[in-house]
Chains A and B, each alone.
Chain A
């Protein structure tokens, strides 16, 4: 369960492969939600090639909650942007729900995003001119839902996130944590098969961070597949699995296990007393 070996890259994305994971290597599984093969991204900075992602093989199964960690500049944001089609890969393969996606054009990616991918960004990126309700209904309408269905789904989501009474407000009237909750509602509006979050708590204080994390945990328990980029260990520790990036390469990929000492239920168990 250390770094992915390059030799299994070729077949990783194929349908019905044996899943390798914490549970062992036996049972056949459905298609992974995401799988990448030797994914590379090289930016051109004034003619000088700057590699951001250097050969990443990643496989995320349905229902998994994966945190991508790494120091700034390690390529973690670039990686999720490529997974969502916001950035174009330089080489390598991206498979989404068993379909190859890296060869898609910009428009096809957009259509795919509409149906399968929800995005949450660090700066919320709510459309400033639209109300909270409109922001949340937008993706549903975009995907072709009727106004009534979109409204029902919005009411349900805002209700679940405790924002029902802010539906008519403009995003600017909301606190940062509330804005991020709205952004989360918007990302979930189309029941995407994959939720991509890029530093969702990077701009929040610890209280709001806790709220957003609690919500992420809840949607994950409901079966939502999540890939989350963060440099915050508290956020990352919520995930089933943490992928550590360094210089555009995966240096560690594994489940977050239990600590060696089993918790017995109080704070005293993890805080050592001196004296």
Chain B
């Protein structure tokens, strides 16, 4: 096109004249894209590690734990079975590390990696034939315990013998879920080493994996295996459970980020639309001149879209680079793969579409500018708005009255400014709500079902001794006996955790948010995840097999359940069969207000002579600590968007009222009053936007987090609204900063000599 050269000149000149604004536009888009990519990467990583791992390791769909090695040939003939992994001999051992004991499943594997379900070495190396003391540790387990390649891995076998091993590599596997959601931790060693550590075949089990032709069709293989092996089977798991356990970690985070990203996109679109619209308004004269020179409506549209769209696309490119950098550098603690092409393309294309749509509307308006440049584009004026009349009635200072009138002379831009500030403010408020929720998690763990800060396992002592020692500690408020057994749901295909804690008479302080606490034998409370899984509601009676004993469970309430996707049944110890309940597996310790769990733990260990095993409860908020960084970063991005909107509004206000200024000065307003008029004109929409955004965010945040909690299985009832003080502070800071930003050009304009002429 012949107009390209002319257009390029025009765009270049225009960009040069408003570098700051252009930079802000680029940064806004870049910030949003970075946020989107980061959240998408986290989201994908939260949902996808299983898929990637399973594909990379050629994982097995079904794992069968049997007492002795099964008949591999018979298993491979089962319907749908393609290949068989193992059987591997696996022995339970205990890893002692810094006073903490962790159960480990030590699996004997050959030095040559298997063809099916081969662990994926991420650090160090795989086992070698001469690695008699070497062990490869599953990575999530190693990370949880702080194990490193070359570090010691001292295990105690069931016979009490201790064997010093060395970590030679860290590997990932789709055989089981991540630690600590999935215990025991997994480690691989050579069969010879395993035999040395655990010579007795009766104290080990055999693990066999089945790779199926069609992963969706697990039932025939499962039924076949149950029929074939029957009594031999101790435990079975399918890829669905593995995937579910891997999914838990970042889903909440990812969804929150996605929410923020989407809203940020809306805010960015508004900011760009406002900036472009404002620029087009201030350029009306130049655009008319272009048309008089022979630009067509379409060409003006194209030039505007090209200029403002290019800024957006530049922002997208910058955002892509930043997003990649952030995900690889800032989140380097997490094993994150770069975003796969599909979502990357979706984000890029989606943002580009949003940017172009946001630019197209004002550009189209610009294209319709009449080509007579002499025509002055005066803002609609004259009538005082209702608000201004009210201000007049209240005998407010003249600057306020005039500013109030100015604020709404152009209705659409005023409205856009309000919305453009309200959306970021709403998101910031929601971010504050997330922050408050996390704080609440940490400060009041009992409200999220974590009343007990410590759990005590008897270890080498008896349960009575453990309880006695725990009760003796001055900071311990209550000791609740507890046991965890697996419960099979009615269809018997999926096992869930049944947690018995406290008794019906002396119940553990569960965080019951619906219904009531269990108060009698056979009554239980459940997490949202379990209710969803069973399709049951409060008041239903469900037949379950709890610890091997059939039991009709009366679900009387719902608790906030942060563990295991909420698929946990909680009941009293008296509801368990005696074999599971006596002695209790552990005691949950509720500490007094303000007590330090670490100090109590140290005292208990000392009092028991290191015989007790004391664990701290992992607060889900600790896993979500990264979200705080994200909230801060997003707040910055959103503030940037707000700033972009503000500058646009300020520039437009100045342009519209530049002529009035001279008149105002002639009427006898001091420069300070003139500046106050301008600041009021810009500030009023800002105040309205900020207040509206804060109100909307505050009313939405609890509901949003609860919705999120419900979908993630934790259950509604965790959302917290930020405190009134925090809200007031946020709104105050936003308004204050906005007014300060508006003050600078206003003061300059008030001092400048403005001639009382056209143009």
Contacts and interface: CB of A to CB of B under 8 A. Distances in A.
* Chains A and B touch (C-beta atoms under 8 A apart): yes
B2 A144 contact: yes
Interface string A125-151: 111111100100111011110010010
A177 interface: no
Interface in B1-23: 2-3, 5-6, 9-10, 13-14, 16-17
Contacts of A125: 285, 288-289, 292, 373-374
B759 A129 contact: no
A113 interface: yes
B286 interface: yes
A141 B297 CA distance: 18
B278 interface: no
Contacts of B5: 141, 147, 150
B294 to A, nearest CB: 3
Contact of B290 (A84, A86, A107, A127): A127
Contacts of B289: 125-127
B373 A110 contact: no
A81 B758 CA distance: 20
A195 B372 CA distance: 16
B295 interface: yes
Interface string A101-129: 00000110011111101010111011111
A76 to B, nearest CB: 13
A129 to B, nearest CB: 4
Interface in A147-173: 147, 150
Interface string B347-388: 000000000000000000000001111100000000000000
A227 to B, nearest CB: 15
Contacts of B374: 77, 121-123, 125, 198
B499 interface: no
A107 B294 contact: no
Interface in B533-589: none
A127 to B, nearest CB: 5
A86 B296 contact: no
B2 A143 contact: yes
Nearest to B3: A142
B720 interface: no
A129 B17 contact: yes
Interface string B19-34: 0000000000000000
B10 A106 contact: no
A144 B370 CA distance: 24
A107 B297 contact: yes
A143 B294 CA distance: 9
B329 interface: no
Given A107-B297, A130-B9, A119 B17 contact: no
A126 B290 CA distance: 10
B251 interface: no
B256 to A, nearest CB: 43
Contacts of B299: 110
A129 B13 contact: yes
B14 to A, nearest CB: 5
B243 interface: no
A139 B293 contact: yes
A142 B6 CA distance: 5
B139 interface: no
B294 A142 contact: yes
B291 interface: yes
A266 B14 CA distance: 52
A269 interface: no
B294 A86 contact: no
A87 interface: yes
Contact of B13 (A111, A119, A134): A134
Interface in A17-32: none
A119 B295 CA distance: 13
Interface in B310-360: none
A57 to B, nearest CB: 23
B298 interface: yes
A110 B295 contact: yes
Contacts of A86: 291-292, 370-372
Nearest to B293: A139
Interface string B188-218: 0000000000000000000000000000000
Contacts of B14: 129
Given A86-B370, A86-B372, A87-B372, A127 B10 contact: yes
Contacts of A106: 296-297
B372 A138 contact: no
B225 to A, nearest CB: 74
Interface in B245-301: 285-286, 288-299
A147 B299 CA distance: 19
A115 B3 CA distance: 13
Contact of A111 (B285, B286, B296): B296
B292 A113 contact: yes
Nearest to B18: A129
Contacts of A129: 13-14, 16-17, 286
A107 B298 contact: yes
Nearest to A116: B294
A186 B290 CA distance: 12
B9 A123 contact: no
B758 A107 contact: no
Looking at B6, B285, B294, B373, which has the most chain A CB atoms within 10 Å of its CB?
A: B294
A111 B296 CA distance: 7
Contacts of A143: 2, 294
A134 B12 CA distance: 11
A138 B17 CA distance: 17
B292 A134 contact: no
Contacts of A115: 294
Given A125-B289, A129-B16, A114 B373 contact: no
Nearest to B5: A141
Nearest to A77: B374
B223 to A, nearest CB: 73
Nearest to A146: B5
A84 B291 CA distance: 11
Interface string A14-57: 00000000000000000000000000000000000000000000
Looking at A121, A130, A134, A142, which has the most chain B CB atoms within 10 Å of its CB?
A: A142
Contacts of A137: 9
A194 to B, nearest CB: 13
B291 A110 contact: yes
A142 B14 CA distance: 17
Given A123-B759, A134-B13, A128 B370 contact: no
B759 A141 contact: no
Nearest to B288: A125
B349 to A, nearest CB: 30
B293 A113 contact: yes
B372 A142 contact: no
A81 B288 CA distance: 13
Nearest to A202: B374
Interface in B211-240: none
A125 B291 CA distance: 12
A159 B6 CA distance: 22
Interface string A198-232: 10000000000000000000000000000000000
Contacts of B3: 141-142
A138 B299 CA distance: 14
A84 B285 CA distance: 17
A127 B296 CA distance: 17
Given A86-B372, A130-B13, A142-B293, A123 B298 contact: no
24 contacts: A77-B374, A84-B292, A86-B291, A86-B292, A87-B370, A106-B296, A107-B296, A110-B294, A114-B293, A121-B374, A125-B285, A125-B289, A126-B289, A127-B286, A127-B290, A129-B286, A138-B9, A139-B6, A139-B293, A139-B294, A141-B5, A141-B9, A142-B295, A143-B294
Given A107-B297, A110-B295, A119-B293, 13 more contacts: A81-B372, A107-B296, A110-B371, A119-B292, A121-B374, A123-B373, A125-B374, A128-B286, A130-B9, A134-B13, A142-B293, A144-B2, A198-B374
Q: Top 3 nearest A-B pairs by Cβ distance?
A: A114-B294, A144-B2, A107-B296
